[in-house]
Amino acid sequence: MTHSQDAIWQQVYSGQWYQTHHPQLVQARELAKRLCRELNQLPASKKAKRQVLISQLLPNAKNIDIGSDFACDYGIHIYTGDNVTMGSRVVILDAAPVTIGANAKIEDGVVISSLTHPLEAAKRKAGWQQASPVKIGINVVLGEGCIILPGVVIPAGTIIEPGKVVTR
């Protein structure tokens, strides 16, 4: 069965609240974490091996360069155009699709999150969350340490200053 046919993935993709502890979600995150670990252990000089791991981790990314200490939740929901560059310590929480346009530059320490957690502590503790897609246009620069929150659409050519939190 493909993700699009599974009830839990339908909940995630439709923006409904869902429990993150569902076995299918846990299994997919564990695979992504393993691939991230393997990628982060390879030096930049091992370009061919890094590209193989990147293509396994991010099957919907094109011609992407990723710095050290990269992390993502699933990888399969990250879509990029050509020539995307990511610095070190970039984190992408991709429960919902995260689309990054061609020639985008994502500097060190950027966090892109498609996740929202409930305000009620009991629901957070129970593992409830909600996902909303993030779209980043072509030729965008995300400055060092900025944070992009769920549902954000960043137009083409935008430069987000270092340290900014983008909420809409």
Query: What pLDDT, in 10s, does the model give residues 84-113?
Result: 999 999 999 999 999 999 999 999 999 999
Give the model's pLDDT for residue 5: 54
Mean pLDDT calculated for residue range 12-37: 94
Give the model's pLDDT for residue 4: 46
pLDDT in tens, 113-126: 999 999 999 999 99
Which domains are seen in the chain, by residue range?
A: 3-166 (2.160.10.10)
pTM equals: 0.92
Tokens read off for 159 = 């430069």
Write the CA distances from 62 to 22, 29, 55, 101, integer angstroms. 30, 21, 9, 10
Q: Summarize the chain as % helix, strand, coil (round to 5).
A: 25, 25, 50
DSSP string, 80-137: E-SSEEE-TT-EEE-SS-EEE-TT-EE-TT-EEE-EE--SSHHHHHTTEEEE--EEE-
